[in-house]
Amino acid sequence: MSRSTGLVLLADQALHDTGDHPENSRRIPTVLDRLQGSDDWDRFQIVEPRAAGIEDIRRAHTKAHIDLVRSSAESAPSWIDGDTPVSKASYDVALKAAGAALSSVDAVVDPSESSPDSLFAMIRPPGHHATEGRPMGFCLFNNAAVAARYAVEHHGLDRVAILDWDVHHGNGTQDILWQDPSVLFISLHQWPLYPGTGWLEERGAGDGEGFTVNLPMPPSSGDREHSQAMIEVIEPILEAYDPQLLIVSAGQDGHAADQLADQLITAAGFNSLADRAAGFAAGRGIGLVALHEGGYNLATLPQLDHAILAGFGDFATDLSDPYSELGAIDVGWPERLEEIKRAQRPHWPV
């Protein structure tokens, strides 16, 4: 049986105006231009988002954090930190981006036959660097953590999993969920790289010990390394955890042509990651929500997002990629993989 998938579209994303910043308002429209011009557009169920309320954001962030985002927008144009600009509408757009994540959760948790198996929320600003009390790294509110806590508290789920394949470590998601066993956080990321977190020994604390899983990938890791990480580490952990919802922090900045990192994932690699994630979710009969994070090369991002949607929906698309010709590089991966397994064996069957 084929898997159904769809999109959550944030019409106001361009009002979060960051100028010529790498995380800019041209990113999502370039993706939608490709999708709407393809033969696959009719495959996608379109879901309209709602804005998140303050009570939704407070599940993941402090009042001071929310007040800082609001006041920074009121005094815009301004910068929250050296990486994170805001415009007059940024606070409102960030609420709508988080709301799109909540709308996505509502749709895939809904048991009706018309509900899609997965949804890809085309949102910005991204979220996974925003900690409980600090916006940072292009991120204002942590969309993934807000959505996970909403799924637990509003829908009554006991176990939610977040898989973050953005090339940068999701330090904010980790920070918010550090002691929370109701949300399993798994991050595939280049290490070392911004923000400098996500090493093997970071595994949560208190009741949440073991529910943070970091896979720090050596620079120049590509399709082979990420596929092996999924098969040998991530999927066994997901199976043991048995989540009732899978959230993907989908950042495509691990592509070989992205300017902000050094990984070598291709369009086929992202398609495979998405296919395996959606296959796991379908096999368990649970919904999947993907939230757009990084990916900054406007020439390649549209194809990568199309490849991911094809993986979610189990349909064919063009995966040709000139960077596939780079071939395998010895990056010290076998040794790192064994280190990852040793770090996780006290908690999980890897």
Q: What is the pLDDT, as a whole number, of residue 324?
A: 83
pLDDT band at 341 (very low <50, low <70, confident <90, very high): very high
Does the structure show a pLDDT above 90 at 331? Answer: no
Percent of the chain with pLDDT over 70: 98
Note the pLDDT tens digit of each residue in 260-279. Answer: 999 999 999 999 999 999 99
349 lies in some domain:
no
Q: Which residues are known catalytic residues?
A: 129
Does the structure show a pLDDT above 80 at 333? Answer: yes
Q: What is the pLDDT, as a whole number, of residue 113?
A: 74
339 lies in some domain:
yes
Q: Give the count of alpha carbons within 13 A of 138, CB side only.
A: 26
Could you list the residue range(s) of the whole structural domain that residue 17 is in?
A: 5-344
Q: What is the pLDDT, as a whole number, of residue 110?
A: 81
**Contact residues for 107 (Cβ-Cβ < 8 A; gap 6+):** 6, 8, 47, 115, 116, 119, 287
177 lies in some domain:
yes
Does the structure show a pLDDT above 90 at 208? Answer: yes
Contact status, residue 189 vs residue 167, Cβ threshold 8 Å: yes
Q: What is the pLDDT, as a whole number, of residue 175?
A: 98
Does the structure show a pLDDT above 90 at 1? Answer: no
Contact status, residue 223 vs residue 269, Cβ threshold 8 Å: yes
pLDDT, mean of residues 108-129: 92
Q: Across all residues in the chain, what is the average pLDDT?
A: 96
> What tokens appear for 206 in the block?
């208190």
Q: What is the pLDDT, as a whole number, of residue 327?
A: 58
The structure's pTM equals 0.98
9 lies in some domain:
yes
Distance (Å, whole) CA 158 – CA 335: 35
Contact status, residue 326 vs residue 221, Cβ threshold 8 Å: no
pLDDT, mean of residues 49-58: 97
Distance (Å, whole) CA 269 – CA 276: 11
Rg of the Cα atoms in the chain: 18
Distance (Å, whole) CA 184 – CA 24: 30
pLDDT, mean of residues 228-246: 98
Phi, psi (degrees; rounded to nearest 5) at 185:
-110, 120
CATH of the domain at 194: 3.40.800.20
115 lies in some domain:
yes
162 lies in some domain:
yes
Give the residue from 251, 317, 238 showing the smallest Cα distance to 282. 238
pLDDT band at 188 (very low <50, low <70, confident <90, very high): very high
Domain count across the chain: 1
Percent of the chain with pLDDT over 90: 95
Q: What is the pLDDT, as a whole number, of residue 20?
A: 96
Residue found under tokens 């709308």: 103
Instruction: For residue 220, give Cα distances in angstroms to 33, 171, 228, 266, 301.
Output: 30, 21, 15, 12, 19
16-25 burial, b at 16+ Cβ within 10 Å, e below that, comes to bbbeeebbbb
Give the residue from 167, 347, 170, 132 showing the smallest Cα distance to 247. 170
Q: What is the pLDDT, as a whole number, of residue 148?
A: 99
Note the pLDDT tens digit of each residue in 83-105. Answer: 999 999 999 999 999 999 999 99
350 lies in some domain:
no
Residue scoring higher pLDDT (202 or 110): 202
pLDDT, mean of residues 299-306: 98
pLDDT band at 223 (very low <50, low <70, confident <90, very high): very high
Does the structure show a pLDDT above 70 at 291? Answer: yes
Q: What is the pLDDT, as a whole number, of residue 278?
A: 98
pLDDT band at 111 (very low <50, low <70, confident <90, very high): confident
